[in-house]
Chains A and B, each alone.
Chain A
Amino acid sequence: MNRQDVFLAGLGGQGVLLAGQILAQAALRSGLEVSWFPAYSPEVRGGEATCTVVMADGPVGSPIVGRPRALVLMDAGSVERHLPRAAEGAIAVINSSLAPDPPRPDGVRVITVPANELAQAAGSERSANLVMLGALLAVRPVVALSEVEAAVLDALPAHRRSSAGVNIEALRAGYRAAGGDVSV
């Protein structure tokens, strides 16, 4: 059975939980079994927010993952707390806008993406979560970019549809920044 996990962490307000939900929705769209498990501190903003997405072509089993094989880390505190938990052979996508010069542990492939700057260039710094998700998909294609784009549209309520362009552009900017080719 093919089983993939992605652990996302950042500050409350950075959209970590939403990015994970969009990934989970894309997995469901792709015909996979999926679980999305959040853990966060009680603060509205600035506390820690994390979620774990497990995707499989059969029952996902544990929604809890001790040593993740893919990590999306959006600030310096998350890098400090969670990069040491990465499994041997894991891939870690790190937001260099808030965690410049992160450690590069043996056995972990570290990709840095200036997500805040790329999101701002795409139209809104608030889309940094999607830049990070796009970058992850370029280096660990757990689901197709097109399914994630569709899931982004699913996630937008009707009165926010006008921001679809910014969000899709942020996703693609991250994908390109990590070496992905959006034309394929």
Chain B
Amino acid sequence: MEDRSGATRKLMSGNEACAEGAIAGGCRFFFGYPITPQNAIPEYMAEHLPEVGGVYVQAESEVAATYMMLGAAAAGTIPMTSSSSPGISLMQEGLSYMLGCELPCVVVNMVRGGPGLGNIAPSQSDYWLATRGAGHGDGRCLTFAPYSVQELHDWSAEAFQVAARYRLPVMILGDAVLAQMMEPVRLRPRGEAMSLDREWAVGGGLKGRERRIVNSLWVVPEVMEQVNLRMKARFDQAEAEMVRFEEVGDEEPEMLVVAYGSMARVAETAIGWAADEGIRARLLRPISLVPFPYAAIRVWAERVRLVLVLELSLGQMVEDVRLAVEGRCPVEFYGRAGGPLITPEDTLSVILSMAGVRRML
């Protein structure tokens, strides 16, 4: 289907667009285990990865899927898995081992209501898991939160380059809204497979080179510390290079709204309506959750009366926003947890009441 610009766009679900984005980005090794609301990702991979000579394996469990990734990554590939909240909890062990082995991978988490088995409704309650994980130890994923089906497609493709560059797990954080909704997508051409030729990868015989070891057990504390310091150096580099965010709305706002993913879509509509009511609001939408756009939020905290954080949780990203604001202005929060959605109408009411209260002070 051609759109107004003459470009071909296809109506796709977030899951499908994410899977096709990964193939376009060079993914050739996918290991997964089914769970709603992301089943369309492994389904798409099972059907389409063989077209590019790729390998799809349905693992016997989420834990097994991560160790299949560990093996594939040790051989020099950038492997991928996808799951939803309870499945991502199970994957934490394998992801920590991959951090310990200094191995990159791409993980998609289409978040559902929790904790526990929860439900299949949309939620953003895995922010802590996605930004403070992966698993135990002194390391983290790099985490990106697209807010449209097009962005899911694009970030899923980019994630492979990012994972390769920083040799860290990259997490794409979506939710049941973004996973299942359909929007037009301008598809990227399918790129070449990621190269296997990495100076640390095992396999393929020695060919005159030194033996290489991929391992996360370092008994000597000073050696283990060196692994942590190397990982920290790569993380610091990512922090310097990979902060991504977008802003829309009033240029001289009285209120800064911070929301990510599906809730940024809701906030975008609500601040437009708020402008019609005479409220000067601006939306700052973190796209990279790790590294978080602390500096950009801090700049606005000097200039607004109030920061409002909107999340489909009882308040997780709000902690990072408070770290950014450092008390420069009040930080308010509105959220719901467990599956019920926040509508633009709800958000407008919150914005109006917050603006009214602040004006009276």
Contacts and interface: CB of A to CB of B under 8 A. Distances in A.
B181 A36 contact: yes
8 contacts: A28-B9, A28-B11, A31-B4, A60-B183, A62-B268, A64-B265, A64-B342, A65-B344
Closest 6 CB pairs of A and B: A66-B343, A61-B269, A66-B345, A62-B269, A36-B182, A37-B181
A97 B344 CA distance: 33
Interface in A1-46: 21, 24-25, 28-29, 31, 33-39, 42
A63 interface: yes
A67 interface: yes
B341 interface: yes
Interface string B169-186: 000000001001111100
Contacts of B270: 62
Interface residues of A, number: 23
Contacts of A38: 180-181
A47 to B, nearest CB: 12
B48 to A, nearest CB: 18
A37 B177 contact: yes
B111 to A, nearest CB: 15
Interface string A61-97: 1111111000000000000000000000000000000
Contact of A35 (B121, B181, B342): B181
B177 A63 contact: yes
Contacts of A61: 265, 268-269, 272, 344
A62 B266 contact: yes
B346 interface: yes
Contact of A28 (B3, B269, B342): B3
Nearest to B343: A66
Contacts of A33: 184
Contacts, number: 69
A35 B182 contact: yes
A95 B91 CA distance: 46
Nearest to A39: B121
B345 A34 contact: no
Interface in B108-157: 120-121, 149
B11 A42 contact: no
A24 B342 CA distance: 23
Interface residues of B, number: 28
Contact of A65 (B182, B262, B343): B343
B360 interface: no
Nearest to B248: A59
A64 B11 contact: no
A28 B205 CA distance: 53
Contacts of B266: 62, 64
B265 A63 contact: yes
B206 interface: no
Nearest to B120: A42
Interface string A146-173: 0000000000000000000000000000
A65 B181 CA distance: 13
A135 to B, nearest CB: 23
Given A33-B184, A42-B120, A66-B343, 20 more contacts: A21-B182, A24-B11, A25-B1, A28-B9, A28-B184, A31-B4, A35-B149, A35-B182, A37-B181, A61-B344, A62-B266, A62-B270, A63-B265, A64-B266, A64-B341, A65-B343, A65-B344, A66-B344, A66-B345, A67-B343
Nearest to A1: B272
Contacts of A63: 177, 181, 183, 262, 265
